[in-house]
Amino acid sequence: MADEPKAGSDDTPVRETIPWQLRATFTPVLLVFMLLIGVRMLNAVSLYPGVVSDASVAPRVAKERDDVREVSFEAEDGVKLYGWVLGPDTAPRKIIQFMGNGEFVGHSAGLYADTCKALDAQFLLFDYRGFANSEGRPSEPGLYADARGAWRFAMDELHWKPAQTIIWGRSLGGAPAIKLTAELVADKTPPEALIIEAAFTSVRDMAGVAMPKLGKPEWLIYDLYDNLGRAPELKLPVFHFHGTSDEIIPYSQGEELYEALPGPKEHMALDGVGHNNIWDDDARASTIRQRMDAFLKAHE
């Protein structure tokens, strides 16, 4: 039987320890990595709160209405998206609506139905990826892929024509609307017009508004949505409106975005109006639709 190694002998196994230099390097790196993950999660929560939307609303409301047809189509990268075609097929104007970050199909059915009638239009409404009834997880590249998929569906399946189609982006939706429109202008297949409602200049700029005490909050931003950088590419008619008392996206950003548009264009300042109450007043809503209708008629 072999002898047991004696304590302190040369045969005693030595327990290796992690050098303090390695620990000193690895620990800060791990902490920074965890911080970046946390920041990314906070970015997602602030930009995409619609991921927790009630998926039962839109199908239920659709069954209650006679002016809605439920549709399903794929984003550019194959993610399946849920949507509505709202309004009559005979309507001469066609509108692809890109909603805000807290909105989803079915949430404002009455609002869009009233706009259909006022503008003599048919709408394509859809949930971004990860919102309510659509698959996937939202991201900047993802929403751009959603936008391209919506346009392709409208052209190929609904048989809309670019010259009769209007792209409308509200708040966060202004970003995919602007990106898609810039691409279509570059491809020489522009829509009839673009409508921008209460949109920001960029998420970097919004970070400075929302988190000014961080010093350089733009360093912590993952999704950029640079609307201002793309504005000069929008060489088509653009109707722009924004509330002067917008508590979420500063009115000054709306002004800056509008000034960067090459035209033809029209700006409508909504005095004393915030971000989420633009359509709450019936008289104001009617005025917005009338101005919008007149602008579109002037550039048909």
Instruction: Indicate which CATH number applies to the domain containing 73.
Output: 3.40.50.1820
Question: Considering the domain boundaries, does residue 237 fall inside one?
Answer: yes
| Model confidence at 300: pLDDT above 50 | yes
**Average per-residue pLDDT in the chain?**
87
pLDDT digits (tens, 9 = 90+) for 148-164: 999 999 999 999 999 99
Question: Considering the domain boundaries, does residue 167 fall inside one?
Answer: yes
Question: Considering the domain boundaries, does residue 146 fall inside one?
Answer: yes
pLDDT at residue 49, rounded to an integer: 77
pTM as predicted: 0.84
The residues with which 94 forms a beta bridge, in sequence order, are: 122, 165
Question: Considering the domain boundaries, does residue 154 fall inside one?
Answer: yes
pLDDT at residue 215, rounded to an integer: 43
Question: Considering the domain boundaries, does residue 176 fall inside one?
Answer: yes
Most confident listed range (8-17, 60-69, 204-213): 60-69
Question: Considering the domain boundaries, does residue 23 fall inside one?
Answer: no
The DSSP call for residue 12 is: S
Give the mean pLDDT of 6-31.
58
Question: Considering the domain boundaries, does residue 5 fall inside one?
Answer: no
Give the mean pLDDT of 27-51.
57
Question: Considering the domain boundaries, does residue 234 fall inside one?
Answer: yes
| Model confidence at 51: pLDDT above 70 | no
Provide the residue type at 148 as one letter. R
Domain that holds residue 81: 55-298
The total number of structural domains in the chain stands at 1
**CA atoms within 13 A of residue 9's CA, in its CB half-sphere:** 7
Q: Within 10 A of 28 (CB to CB), how many other CB atoms are there?
A: 10
pLDDT digits (tens, 9 = 90+) for 63-96: 999 999 999 999 999 999 999 999 999 999 999 9
